[in-house]
Amino acid sequence: MKNKIISIVLFFIALSLFAQEKQDELKGLKFTGLPLISFSTDDGFGYGVRIYGTYYEEGYAPFKYQSYGQFYRTTKGFEYHEFSLDSLKFLGTPFRVRMNVGIERYLNAQYYGYSNYQDLPRQKKIKAGELPINENIQSTPTLYKINESLTLNTNYLNNNNLLDPNNYNKSEKELKESQDKYFNYDSIKPFFTITTEDFIGDTNFKWFTGVRLQRYRIQSYKGDVDKGQTYPNIETLIDHEKPVGYDATEKPRYVNTIRLAFAYDSRPRIRELNPNDGIFADIHYEGAGKSTGSNYTFNRYTLTYRQYIEILSGIFKPMNQELVFAYRIQTQKTDGDVPFFEAGRIYTMRESALGLGGNNGIRGYPANQFVDRVMGVFNTELRLTAFRVKALGGIDFVLLGYYDVGRVAPSYKEFAMKDFHRAMGGGIRFVWQRNTIINISYGRSAYEANGNFSFNHMF
C-alpha cells in the first residue's frame, strides 16, 4: 500500500528547561519534549507527544538513566501509548535494566500470507475493488458500468428490463467498499517488557535476558460497515485462511515470552545511540509456551551484525562534519506454532520490525509485506552530519541515504540467493542532546513507497 507521509517535528519546550551548553558538557537532568504532528494516507492525521527525561552523571555513558512517556494516536485508529525507563546500574547493581509498558493498536494491521512471491499489482486491484475476490466473484459477465453504483450484466440482453435486480452485478462502489479491508485486521495489544544486561568484565561482550508479556485481541472486519461507507466488508484473508492465531478473534490470547541474548558491542559508550565506530552483533533467542503462560508455543532465533565506519574524516572533520557508513545484516528463523500476528515480528536486543517491510525492514514496502519462517535483510546507510547548532542543548542535523535488500523463505534450504526485494530512500535525522534522535525519511521500491517518522536510528 502506497504510504505518503508528511511529518512535522515541533520543538516546543520552555527555554528554562534547557541549558545552552555543548553536548559533551551535559550534566544533571535534562528534558526534551517532542509534540508530534503527522499525516498518513493510511493512518490519517496523527497527533501526540513524547517527553524524555535524561539524567547525565560522570562515570555513566551514554547516561545514568533515561525515561520517556508517549501519547500518540491517529484519526484512522493507530495508537501507541508507552512509558519507558532505561537505567544503567539499576538501584546500585551492576545491571542495566529497561522497562516498557503500554498499549499498541493497529486498526489496519496487515496480513498478506506467508511467501516471498507476492503479486503486489493484484493485491492493489483487490483493495481497489478492481478485481473481485471470494464471494464478490460474479457468475454472470459484466456488460456495462452505468456509474460507480450500477453495473449491468449480460442478463440484460435477454429481457432489457432495467428494474430486474438479476440484470445487475455488484457495483464498482460495492466492490471497493467491501474489499478495501481484505488484507487488514484490527490488533489491540497491551504489553509489558523488562530486560537486564551487563558487560562481561572489561570486555566488549555482554549478556542479556528478559521477558515480554502481551495480550492480543484480534478483530476481523468481516461484516463490518466502515464509517462513511454503505456496504459491509466481505470475508478477509485471515477469515479465509484461518491461520494459527485466528482463535484470538474469539477471545484474548496471550503471547508471553522469555528472551536470551549474547552480544559483542564495541561502539563508543558515550555514542551508543549515534555511533561513528565499532561493531554491535547479537544472537537473540525468544521462546513462548505453556511454561511462560502463552497460548502458543514457538521459538524465534535472530542473528544480527551491525558495523559503523567513519569515512573521509580528513575531508569532513575540518568542517566540523562527519560521514558514517553503517550497515546491518540480519537473519531470523522461527519454528513452532507462531500466531500470524507474531510471525512477522523480528526482535533483537534493541530493535523490532514487522516483517520485511515498514519502517524497520525493507523501507519501501508496507509492514508485514514479506513474512515466512526464515527472513533475511541487508540494510545500508550513509549518515552525513551536515551541521550542528548549540540551541536547546545541542542539535546535530544528519542527512540520510539508504539502500535495503532482503527476502523470505519457508526454510534455509529454500532460501535462494535470488528474487530479492529492494528499496532505497533518504531523509533527515536530528540528534538532540546526544541521546534523542528523530528520524524523517521516505523510501521507494519497484511497487510501493514508505514514509517514516520515528525515533532513533533504525540500527
| pLDDT over threshold 50, residue 8 | no
Contact 355, 298 (CB under 8 A): no
Sort strands 96-110 and 205-219 into parallel, antiparallel or unpaired: unpaired
Give the single-character DSSP code of 236. Answer: -
| pLDDT over threshold 80, residue 328 | yes
| pLDDT over threshold 60, residue 11 | no
Q: 209: alpha, beta or left, given left = phi > 0 and alpha = psi -120 to 50?
A: beta
Give the pLDDT confidence score for residue 39 in this predicted structure: 56
Give the pLDDT confidence score for residue 251 in this predicted structure: 95
CA 401 – CA 313 distance, rounded (Å): 18
Give the pLDDT confidence score for residue 20 in this predicted structure: 39
* Mean pLDDT within 335-358: 92
| pLDDT over threshold 60, residue 42 | no
| pLDDT over threshold 80, residue 355 | yes
Q: Is 312 helix (H, G, I), strand (E, B) or coil?
A: coil
Contact 222, 242 (CB under 8 A): no
Residue type, 32: T
C-alpha gyration radius of the chain: 25
Give the pLDDT confidence score for residue 13 in this predicted structure: 37
Give the single-character DSSP code of 115. Answer: B
Q: What is the DSSP string of 249-288?
A: GTS-EE--EEEEEEEEE-S-GGGSSS-SEEEEEEEEEEEE
What nine digits make up the cell of 171? Answer: 457495483
Give the pLDDT confidence score for residue 38 in this predicted structure: 66
Q: pLDDT band at residue 59, thresholds of 50, 70 and 90?
A: confident
Give the pLDDT confidence score for residue 439 in this predicted structure: 86
| pLDDT over threshold 50, residue 69 | yes
Q: What is the pTM of this model?
A: 0.83
**Fold classification of 5-111+183-455 (topology level):** Porin (2.40.160)
* Mean pLDDT within 250-256: 97
| Lowest-pLDDT range of 18-22, 32-36, 93-97, 278-282 | 18-22
Give the single-character DSSP code of 25. Answer: G
The domain ranges of the chain are 5-111+183-455, 118-182
How confident is the model over 191-221, as pLDDT tens digits? 999 999 999 999 999 999 999 999 999 999 9
**Nearest to residue 424, comparing CAs of 347, 364, 378?**
364
Contact 381, 458 (CB under 8 A): yes
Beta carbons within 10 angstroms of residue 431's beta carbon: 23
How far is C-alpha 191 from the geometric centre of its chain's CA atoms?
A: 16
Give the pLDDT confidence score for residue 44 in this predicted structure: 64
Alpha helices in 67-171 (DSSP H): 120-127, 156-159
Q: Is 131 helix (H, G, I), strand (E, B) or coil?
A: coil
* Mean pLDDT within 280-284: 97
| pLDDT over threshold 60, residue 24 | no
Contact 431, 437 (CB under 8 A): yes
Q: Which residues contact 235 (CB under 8 A, 6 or more apart)?
A: 134, 135, 222
Contact 30, 432 (CB under 8 A): no
Residues 350, 353, 359, 363, CA torsion sign: positive
Contact 218, 248 (CB under 8 A): yes
